[in-house]
Chain A
Amino acid sequence: MAQRNADADLLLQLCLPALDPVTPEILSRIQMALVGTRAETAQENLWIVVAEALNNIAEHAYPTYGLGAVALRLELTDSVLRVTLVDWGVALPFGRVTDGTAPDPSDLSEGGYGWLLIRALVRDIGYLRERGQNRLSIILDI
């Protein structure tokens, strides 16, 4: 039974290495955590958003040493899913999330789609750099 925490149910809490090959494992745990909740239908969007956010952390927060941790907390309120991602790596450029401007499809760009996908699927996203931590707070509709 999920733990009730103020206004939200805690569905999942974990801390794992921030490495691309770990992302599928985290997505599968998210899927299991959503089973039987009213947020089950939000799984597709959650998967896309969390995969992009995790891959950004693996690639950009820990570029030099290539190894660090990422903590994830998934909570469900009456109307939204809340995802908090914390890492201890390099801060986001300019101390904020990028606006996710879409590459022109006809340019056949091979990158630049990550933030666009995140922006397109979330209700809200916030970023905080605090005491050497990056904290990304993501809200998704259910």
Chain B
Amino acid sequence: MDLHVDTYPTATVIWVNAPRIDAPVALQFKEEMRHLTLRQEGRFILDLEQVEFIDSSGLGAVVASMKQLRPGQSLDLAALQPIVQKVFRLTRMDTVFAIHETADQAIGTKKR
């Protein structure tokens, strides 16, 4: 799974370069998120701009990514596309994550 990491003064942006987070890739996504969040401290923004589709397994993997954070770390979401937004709303997981319109907005600057 192609996850791009960019570090900014206010947060680390993880850009998911994949059209879907679903059952075939959920476990891999969770593992890669674990490795990424082990290497860095502070606030993470998961940029879902490219992600057109998520299923319940993918949702579980995003939730797991937050649960495996250490104290002092946090995970926000950005740029939810229509289906992703709908899945988060219907499962009420939109009440658990801070969700930003765009990653730029979340970090308070322009992405590189």
Residue A44 at the chain B interface, CB threshold 8 Å: yes
Known: A23-B24, A48-B86, A110-B63. A55 touches B92 (CB 8 A): no
Say yes or no for A142: interface residue by CB 8 A criterion: no
Are B22's CB and A24's CB within 8 A? yes
Smallest CB–CB gap between B2 and chain A, Å?
16
Q: Which residues of A contact B91 (CB under 8 A)?
A: 102-103, 105, 113, 116-117
Q: Which residues of B contact A110 (CB under 8 A)?
A: 60-61, 63-64, 67
- In the docked arrangement, what's the CA distance between A114 and B58, Å? 11
The interface size of chain A toward B, counting residues with CB under 8 Å, comes to: 28
- B57 to chain A: closest residue by CB: A55
The number of chain B residues touching the other chain, given as a range, is 20 to 34
Contact A23 B22, beta carbon cutoff 8 Å: yes
Question: When each residue 96-109 of chain A gets 1 if its CB lies under 8 Å from chain B and 0 otherwise, what string results?
Answer: 00000011011011
| Contact of A47 with B by CB under 8 A | yes
What mask results when residues 49 to 85 of chain A are scored 1 for a CB within 8 Å of chain B, else 0? Answer: 0011001001100000000000000000000000000
CA gap between A48 and B23 in the complex, in Å = 12
Interface CB pairs A-B, < 8 A, 11: A24-B24, A47-B53, A47-B83, A48-B87, A55-B56, A106-B96, A108-B63, A109-B60, A110-B61, A113-B56, A114-B55
| A residues with CB within 8 A of B | 20-21, 23-24, 27, 44, 47-48, 51-52, 55, 58-59, 102-103, 105-106, 108-114, 116-117, 120-121
Question: Which 7 A/B pairs are nearest by Cβ-Cβ distance?
Answer: A113-B56, A110-B60, A20-B23, A114-B56, A105-B92, A20-B24, A21-B24
